[in-house]
Amino acid sequence: MDGNAGNPKGNTLVGKTLCNPIIIYLLDMKNLPRVLFVDDQAEVLEELKNHVSELCEPYASLSAEEGLEIFKKNGPFSIVVSDQILPGVNGSEFLAMINRRDPYCSTMLLTGHANYSDAMRAVNNGHVFRLLEKPYSPDSLKEAVEAGIRQRKLMESEKVLLQETLVGAVNALTDTLATVKPLFFGRAQRVKRLAGEVAMYLDFPHVWQVETAAVFSQLASITLPETEAENVFLRKKLHPHVLKLVGNFPTVTDHLLGHIPRLGEVREIIDCLMVSPKPYQTQEKTLIYQAYEILNTVLEYDYLEVAGHESEIILATLKGGNKRFNPKVIEAMSLLLHKSKTRYLVNELPFEDLKVGMRLAENLHLETELLVAPKGTDITKHFLQVLHNYDTCYEKSPFPKLIKVFVRD
């Protein structure tokens, strides 16, 4: 009987190729964790790759410069293993660069007795997950790679849990406080959205930290008397006693965040924003400073937009004004704002026709002139419930007959 009988024409590969153990191995390689080895000796790299080929998909590089290119092009990597002695930068400096690009990557340093003190310094600085002493045994290398893969999975699981829990809590907090302090937490919503988009566009590794810092940067506003809140929001001239209150914002914010675990980096971003960026202009704090640059630029954009300036004028001011802002952040904002304009249309709808996903295109006031929500507020289920509550408290609708909103095209 013909071995291909019953198979549709052209499907002979199903019976033969996919049963080939080499093909199966190559297909499985796609699911293996990736490990990058960096050493200036080709024979050492080949040996390292052969020892762990069953555990991972190994990559190799002869220099730190080439290693960074491979890391960027073929990542994410579970592990990067580097020799301490490399042309150009040394191994611990190279792994510090890797750590800044992907803090969840397990980094390992191959070192001999001669440079052991440098290696220990790298471990103490948090740039290295494990030291591998030369000469190493194949078994110790395999054990280290297995531990590094487990560490990456553990850190990623923790990251997902933290983000899902914290982001959900921050969203709930923002929605709630937006009804109490609509000016400041309307700003928090707008800045969180745009800063998050900019961070994603620039491949910032911790977008949630930027978004969380955007919300918490407005948190101290809850301590302001209502009579002074608008003056602070609009950056008007303030009385000395109000200036003193605003001067305490960093302390108030840090005290409030101090009770929430795992927010160390967010607190540093806000400290950088509200106190001084100078202590964070170091290699170790590169990510904190980058987050600050994003958040600071977007906040300045929001201040100027609220003041009534057009988007093009604001972007030109940010580029050429007295204050210095990162040109890459401004360019990213410009592109994203342009895309947003093409995605949304302005429409005027009665209160009853508002839907989740729309966005206010103007400040929403009651007939009494009370501000319910500022321009740019996202229409969520919570927000619609707030509007419904207002509506039920009046004999006739307290809202304008038509509300101007942005609607997705």
pLDDT tens column, 273-300: 999 999 999 988 999 999 999 999 999 9
297 lies in the same domain as 206: yes
Most confident of 9-13, 189-193, 198-202: 198-202
Q: Is there a domain that residue 5 lies in?
A: no
Paired tokens of 55: 């555990």
CA distance readout (Å), 100 to 39, 221, 290: 20, 33, 11
Q: Is there a domain that residue 26 lies in?
A: no
Long-range contacts of 298-301 (CB under 8 A, 24+ apart): 298/191, 298/194, 298/195, 298/198, 298/214, 298/329, 298/333, 299/191, 299/214, 299/217, 299/273, 300/325, 301/194, 301/333
For residue range 199-257, list pLDDT tens digits in order: 999 999 889 999 999 999 998 888 888 778 888 888 888 888 888 888 889 898 888 88
Q: Is there a domain that residue 248 lies in?
A: yes
198 lies in the same domain as 335: yes
Q: Is there a domain that residue 27 lies in?
A: no
199 lies in the same domain as 142: no
Vertex 318, ends 314 and 319: CA angle to 5°?
A: 120
Structural domain including 355 reads 350-409
For residue range 135-184, list pLDDT tens digits in order: 889 999 999 999 999 999 998 887 777 777 777 777 777 777 777 788 88
- CB 55, CB 149: distance < 8 Å: yes
207 lies in the same domain as 328: yes
Q: What is the CATH number of the domain that holds 118?
A: 3.40.50.2300
- Mean pLDDT within 368-385: 87
Report the C-alpha gap between 152 and 77 in whole angstroms.
9
- Mean pLDDT within 348-373: 90
202 lies in the same domain as 304: yes
The domain boundary residue, chosen from 341, 367, 389: 341
194 lies in the same domain as 76: no
Edge-to-edge strand order for the sheet containing 344-349?
Answer: 344-349, 403-408, 359-360
The average confidence (pLDDT) of the chain is 85
The domain boundary residue, chosen from 341, 359, 375: 341
pTM score, two decimals?
A: 0.64
386 lies in the same domain as 288: no
194 lies in the same domain as 149: no
289 lies in the same domain as 368: no
128 lies in the same domain as 188: no
- CB 170, CB 212: distance < 8 Å: yes
Q: Is there a domain that residue 326 lies in?
A: yes
Q: Is there a domain that residue 137 lies in?
A: yes
Helix (H, G, I), strand (E, B), or coil: what is residue 34?
Answer: strand
48 lies in the same domain as 141: yes
Report the C-alpha gap between 286 and 281 in whole angstroms.
7
Q: Is there a domain that residue 334 lies in?
A: yes
CB atoms inside a 10 Å sphere around CB 303: 16
Reference 266, options 215, 324, 197; nearest CA is 215
Reference 251, options 266, 271, 269, 265; nearest CA is 271
Q: What percent of the chain has pLDDT over 70?
A: 89
The domain boundary residue, chosen from 317, 341, 365: 341
Terminus-to-terminus CA distance in the chain, angstroms? 61
Q: Is there a domain that residue 161 lies in?
A: no
Using CA of residue 242, residue 247, residue 253, residue 256, what is the dihedral sign? Answer: negative
Least confident of 26-35, 194-203, 356-365: 26-35
116 lies in the same domain as 204: no
Query: Above 70 in pLDDT, residue 196?
Result: yes
Predicted pLDDT of residue 13: 38
Per the DSSP assignment, residues forming a β-bridge with 404 are 348
Vertex 208, ends 206 and 213: CA angle to 5°?
A: 105
Query: How many domains are contained in the chain?
Result: 3
